[in-house]
Amino acid sequence: MDYGKIIHIFDTTLRDGEQAPGCSMNLTEKIAVARQLERLGVDVIEAGFPASSPGDLTAVKAIAQLIKDATVAALCRALKTDIDKAWEALASAVRPRIHIFLATSPIHLRYKLHISPEQMLEQAVAAVSYAKQYCEEVEFSAEDATRSDLDFVAAVFSAVIKAGARIVNIPDTVGYALPQEFAALVSAIKERTENIEHVQLSVHCHNDLGLAVANSLAAIEAGATQVECTINGLGERAGNASLEEIVMGLRVRHNFLHADTAICTEQLYVSSKLVSQVTGVKVQPNKAIVGDNAFLHEAGIHQHGVLANRETYEIMKPESIGIPQQRFVLGKHSGRHAFETHLQSLGMPVDPALLDKIFLQFKELADRKKEVTDSDVTALVMGISGTVSEVTWKLDRWVVNSGSSLSATSAIRLQHKDGRLIEKVSVGDGPIDAAFKSINQIIEKEPVLELYELSAITSGEDAQGQTMVKIAWNKRCWNGRGVSTDIVESSIKAYLAAINALEWEFGSTAD
C-alpha cells in the first residue's frame, strides 16, 4: 500500500497535557505514560519543561534514560539557563531534542515579553545557536503564531533555520484559527521561509474553538510534516489536538488526505485509558475514537443495520483502535499468570519485583469485590508503583468517627520513610476534614485544600471510590489520587499522595 507522506507525531501529553488543571502526574505515572507512548509508536515524546520545576527536570531525565525508540524532547524558553537545564535532563537520551519557544505576536511581545520584534528575532537566533552546541535536533516554536504578522514569522523561521533549527513549529497557542485560514497560513509560511524544504514544518493546535483536530488536518494538507498533539486532547484550557483523532482521521480518510503516521493504532485505546487513569480526567462518553459510546449503537434501526453489515454505521472497526472484543473478567479465582497477562494487555507490564506485591493487593481487592475491572487494576498498579520510590509518608492505620450528634474525630498513624511511627488525633468539620487535620499535624505543614473530588470508578454497590485532591503550599500545587472501596480511606490516600509529591519536591519537615 502507498502510505503517501508520513506525518510525524509529536506527543506533548507529558508537557502541554500535564499543564492542564488537575492533570499533573507523579514520576511513576509519567514513566508509565512515556513507556506506553513508545509502544504506541509516537515519533517524539515531549517529556516536560525541565526549567519549570525540579520535579520536571527529574522526570525528563528519567524518561530520557528509558526511552529508546522515540525522540525525547524537552521544552525551554529562549534563555541560556533554560537550555542548560533542558540539556541536563536530555543528555542521556538516544535521540534528544531541545524545543525552544518564543512568542512572535505583537500582544505577547508588548505585554508579556516587553521586547521589540528585532530583539525577539535576535533572542531566537541566539537561543537556537546556543542549543546547537549541545544537540543536533533543535525545534523552534513561534508562540502565538496565528496572531502574528505572517512575514515576521517567516523571517524568524528563516533566521532560526540558518542558525541550525531542524524543526519549525507554528502554534495556534490560543486556539483562534479556522481550518481554511490555518491551511493558508501554513502554505504562505512554506512559500516565504528560506530553506523550509530542508527542515520539518510542524503545527501545534489548541482547541478553544473546538477546531484543533480540523486545523491540524488542514495543516497537513497544506504541507505540515509534524503535528503536536496529546492523548485524549488534554492540554491547557480546552486542550490540544487529540492524537487519536488525528491519527484515525488520517487512517480512515487516507483516500482523501494521502498521508499516514507510524502509530500502532491498536494501542490507542489502552493509551487513552492509561492517561485517563493516571490523571483522573475522565474521557467524555461521546468523545470521538476512545469515548465509551464511540462504537455503541442505540437506535433500533442502527442496530439492525450493524447486525446486517457493520459498515452500514461504522467507518472504522473497534479492533483497529484496540478496544478489547472479549472482556476478560478478573475475580478472586484468577491466578497470577492470568493477572500478569491481563496487565500486559492493558499496556501495563509491571516490574517483576513488584508483581508479587500487586498480585497480593489484587487478591485482597477481589475478596471485597465480585468483579475487578480494568479501572480497578490500573488504579492498583499506579497506586503501588507510586509508592516505590517517592514515598515519605505511608499510611499505617486510621480510625475516623462521625455522626449527627458528635463532632468528627480522627486518629491517624503514619510511618515516615525513616521508620518512625507518628500518630495524631484531631477533631474536624466532618470525617474528611478531621482526617486531613491529623495528617497536617503529623507532617507539620498546613497545605490549602484547593480541590476535593469524589467519584465512583466502577459501577455497583461494591464500586471503588476515587478521590482527587489538589493542595497548594508555598505558591505551588500538587495533585493526589486515592482509590478504595471505603471513601474515607480513598480520601486519606489521595491526600497522602499529594503530600508525598510535595515532600518529594521540598523535603520533609520531619527529615
Q: Footprint of ligand KIV on this chain (CB under 6 A)?
A: 16, 75, 101, 141, 143, 171, 173, 204, 206
How near is the Cβ of 78 to ligand KIV at its closest, in Å? Answer: 11
> Which residue has the CB atom at the shortest distance from Zn ion?
16
The binder of 143, among ligand KIV, Zn ion, none, by C-beta within 5 to 8 A per type, is ligand KIV
Report helix, strand or coil for 132.
Answer: helix
Dihedral Cα 480, 26, 350, 271, nearest 10 deg: 90
Q: At its nearest, how many Å lie between ligand KIV and the CB of residue 145?
A: 8
Nearer to Zn ion among residue 10 and residue 339 (C-beta): 10
* Amino acid of residue 251: R
Grid cell in block for residue 174: 490560543
Q: In Å, what is the CA distance from 274 to each residue of 281, 282, 290, 467, 497?
A: 10, 11, 12, 17, 18
Place of cell 525551554: 76
Min dist CB 44 to ligand KIV, Å, is: 12
Q: Which option in Zn ion, ligand KIV, none does residue 470 bind, with CB closer than 5 to 8 A by kind?
A: none
Q: For ligand KIV, which is the closer residue by CB, 204 or 369? A: 204
Q: Which of 192, 97, 185, 187 is nearest to 135 (CA)?
A: 97
In eight-state DSSP terms, residue 463 is P
Q: 206 or 493: whose CB is closer to ligand KIV? A: 206
In the complex with ligand KIV, which residue's Cβ is closer, 76 or 379? 76
Euclidean distance between the first and the last CA atom of the chain, given in angstroms as a whole number: 61
Radius of gyration of the chain (CA): 24
Torsion angles phi and psi, residue 346, rounded to 5? -85, 0
Contact 444, 393 (CB under 8 A): no
**Can you tell me which residue has the cell 515519605?**
392
User: Shortest distance, CB of residue 69 to ligand KIV, whole angstroms?
Assistant: 23
Stretch that binds Zn ion, among 15-23, 59-67, 180-188, 428-436 (CB under 5 A): 15-23
Q: Are 243 and 230 in contact (CB under 8 A)?
A: yes
Kindly state the smallest distance separating residue 204's Cβ from Zn ion, in Å.
6
In the complex, least distance from residue 236 CB atom to Zn ion, rounded to whole angstroms:
6
Query: Which one of ligand KIV, Zn ion, none interacts with residue 141, CB within 5 to 8 A by kind?
Result: ligand KIV
Q: Which is nearer to Zn ion, 75 or 248 (CB)?
A: 75
Smallest distance, ligand KIV to C-beta of residue 28, A = 25
> Looking at beta carbons only, is 104 or 426 nearer to ligand KIV?
104
- Which of Zn ion, ligand KIV, none binds 101 (CB below 5-8 Å, type-dependent)? ligand KIV
Q: Are 129 and 121 in contact (CB under 8 A)?
A: no
Closest contact distance (angstroms) between CB of 176 and Zn ion is 13
| Grid cell at residue 327 | 472482556
Alpha carbon dihedral 272, 273, 276, 280, in 10-degree steps, equals 180
Contact flag: residue 16 with Zn ion (CB under 5 A): yes
Query: How many positions of this chain bind Zn ion (CB under 5 A)?
Result: 1
The smaller minimum CB distance to ligand KIV, of residues 211 and 391, is found at 211
Nearer to ligand KIV by C-beta: 48 or 482?
Answer: 48
Distance CA 228, CA 234 (A): 12
Which residues in this chain contact Zn ion in the complex, by CB under 5 A? 16
